[in-house]
Structure 1
């Protein structure tokens, strides 16, 4: 199969500068509506990946996201939300970006072109064959990510990728390639738009379904969330109130006593 960068194809829209604000917004929204349908098509591939991630994490493994630019930032965002949302250790899901932490806020020249740096970055985490590494790159051609996945495969570490081009070089070094084809961007080549949205949706699906499978959700509630601010404490108390059928003051008392929503519900249910 010949490789074509659909993400770089010309926009279906011309003369954007002549559009009214309303026209720009409506057209962007029209394009965005196609993204969820594109993601829907890759659910069978996502299912296999999540099953493997859950299997590896149960063996003591970890999940890593590696990427550059927007893709790297999206991986870091998803990883950073797992501890507060699901109460897991901060080293269970990890996001790594080409160029290091400085690149989260600023562009780092040529960082994505280094084919050896991703493996060096992973080695700082003592990467091993229990772990799973997911490469994220809309184009599927980012050297940093391809090099990292290739090195992982050479060390028997399971790999996956999230790309928006079919048959990309990145897919060839992925055990679980996720190719979500969203088509040309509204602004030609601006893959932070539909491609970025698709990547964010898929990352949400991967981490959330994994955490549910690992038992970090009870019914539909975040019973293991970290109570790190007043808003989350209020949310936790409300969960206890609804689950145990007690008033808010009692729920707050139980939360203070047990220190977590899960412990409060479990201990009070079986007393």
Structure 2
């Protein structure tokens, strides 16, 4: 993870994401790409060819670049390589196209704490990026402060399809020399005996070079509450999940994990596409 993309709408939530990106960048000598997307009204887009409001368009660009420059001068970014870009494109499309063009390794985005995913960029676009991004997406809910990402939870059914994205999680864990808590959530609708669950997890983890890990089985009413409650129990710094592009945070444990987990937990969540 050497190239980190941080989309920003200049909000507090986007700044929280940038602070988290800075922590990762300093640990792993990464380059940060700051991206501000200008989604102009239709009449403004017409002006690009008609010429009527070109000065107004240029003002948007000028102000955006000035704000990006101020952000780059924040003390928490000292010593880091920061590239800033203003781009005319819809937020969701712009993030994914920039990602492919610049060979980004990790996207870090902000979101509301417990109020859900609601606003532009820090809203439905976050959920779309989580669902469709080919690279890992780290969603930050609040000011990370001095978070060290030392205690990371990875919730899964530990099936064969999880193996490839799990390798990326292992890379992230090694950056922070973190302890990884692997957890299988058992519910009334997705029940496994302790013997079966332990066997599945042990068979899965033996293929990876990872030292600081522990295996857990946690019972709860449903998958979402199980992950959230287990993470609180061990005071996790970060929750890791795998996603399917077709349905977002869904369809592992032979069931479905809704976006409620990303919406409602205050802990950072990192997702890896299957």
TM range (shorter): under 0.3
Task: Kindly indicate which of the two structures has a greater share of residues assigned to helix.
Answer: 1
Q: Whose radius of gyration is greater, 1 or 2?
A: 1
Compare the two structures and name the one with the higher strand fraction: 2
